[in-house]
Each structure stands twice: as C-alpha cells, then as structure tokens.
Amino acid sequence: MNTVVIKCGGSILNELSPSFFASLRELKEKKANIVIVHGGGPEIGEMLQNLQVSFEFVNGLRKTTAEVLEIVEMVLCGKVNKKLVAMLQTHQLRAVGLSGVDDYLLEAKPIDLEQLGYVGEVKKVNEALLQKLWSDGYIPVVAPIGMDENGQKYNINADAAAAAVAKAVRADQLLFVTDVPGILREGEVVKEATVETVQEMMKDGTIYGGMIPKVQAALESLVDSLEEVAIVSGKTTFYSIHGLHGTKIKKGVGVYK
C-alpha cells in the first residue's frame, strides 16, 4: 500500500477516535503516502442558518451563490480544515492544511452555473504539490474548494474531489471514512464485494438509509485506474498489521463474503 486517499465526511469529523489516528500512524510506518479530503456539510448548514442565509439543494448538491460560497469557503478552509489538522498533530501526525485553491491543487470548472451557481468539478489536480508534501513527511489535508484560471472559486463535492485526487495520484486505495465499520449484513461486516453485488445489496435492502449515498459515492469513484475502494470506520481501528478493516469494493463480478 503506497498511496492512500482518505475522504472524511463532515458528519464523522467530531467522532474520530484515537484508534483512527493510530491506524493512520500504522499506515505512515508502512511508508504510505496519505492525503485526506474532508467535507463539512453539517458545519456549513449551521453557519448558513446562524447567518440567516437561505440556500437550496439541486440534485443533491448545495446551490452555491456568491454569498453562500463565501460562507462555505470560510467554514471548510478555516474552521473544519484547521480542526482536522490540529487533531492529526495532537496524535503525532505531521499535517498541512490546504484548499484546492493553493497552487491550483484542484483546478475547477463549473458544472452548471445557471442551475447550481458556483458548484464545480475538478478539471485537473496539481499532483506535484502533493508529492512535495509527501516527500517532506506531511499528510496534506484538503478542503474541497477549487479555482479556475480566472481566479473564480468553486464549491466541490468532497466525494468527487477525493475521487479526482485518487485518480490523479494513481492511488492504491480510496477510503471513505464513515460512522460504521463497513457494509453490514445481518450484523456482520461484509469484507469484500463487487460493484454488482453492492448494487444487489442496495436493491434487497441490505444497504439502506444514510449508507446508500456513501456507497454510491464509493461506486462512482471506481473509474479508470482505480480498481478498489473501501468503506471504513472513523470510530475504530481501520488499519493494523493484519491489513484493512472494513468493506472493500472491487470492480468485476462475483459474490460478497
């Protein structure tokens, strides 16, 4: 395992356990290059509410006006990013907080200005910046705000940003950190599954509720060179000398086990 991209959703950030950070240290001891891409939906929603700024969701994405973008940037690049960096450093992990704006880490373009406002998708990832930070022993912690060549900033879905980074750096694994130890079937963690069997589990109700969007994000990231993603818990050990603990989802056909 050489390069690992970790996506931390905003809802799990306050529940990350010492075991989670111990797993990161274990990966670092294995000489893994780690990059964390984080969200911050709950904090953004709370701040918009506090400031009485109205917003709406269009096709699952937060429509981002110029006013909303300013608040999203403030929360993601400020409060949430620095909170996670501080947590990593208190667990003896050297970390540097960035946004996609820094050195065009995430060069972006709009998805649909009319429908979504300043919601963007990743056009290009500055892989060289990540490589420099890795060579100096840092874990880059990335807030998913991107920028185009004209300096316009965009709010990028954290799942999509993590998948774009994983593709660009040819990651060995992309991990989605959640509040559960993986996909559960009759109370037991499904250790391995394929795209096909995960879709079956969504149809038969094995995967339900809040797990559905997490699994869908994992499936959507299985494109191009990325052969495997995993869903792991931020509350427990997700990596040890025995390997990864969670649900691995691979391309191809087969049965889950």
Give the N- to C-terminal CA distance of the chain in Å, as an integer: 22
Amino acid at residue number 110? P
Active site residues: 7, 10, 41, 159, 214
Tokens of 205: 């109700």
What does the domain layout of the chain look like in residue ranges?
3-250
Does 40 appear as a known binding residue? Answer: yes
Does 14 appear as a known binding residue? Answer: no
**pLDDT-derived band at 48, boundaries 50, 70, 90:** very high
Please write the tens of the pLDDT for every residue from 94-129. Answer: 999 999 999 999 999 999 999 999 999 999 999 999
Whether residue 254 is predicted with pLDDT greater than 60 in this model: the reply is no
Tokens of 196: 């096909």
pTM of the entire predicted model: 0.91
Residue 225's φ and ψ, nearest 5 degrees, are -80, -15
Top-level CATH class of 3-250? Answer: alpha beta
- Do 100 and 142 touch, CB atoms closer than 8 A? yes
Whether residue 253 is predicted with pLDDT greater than 80 in this model: the reply is no
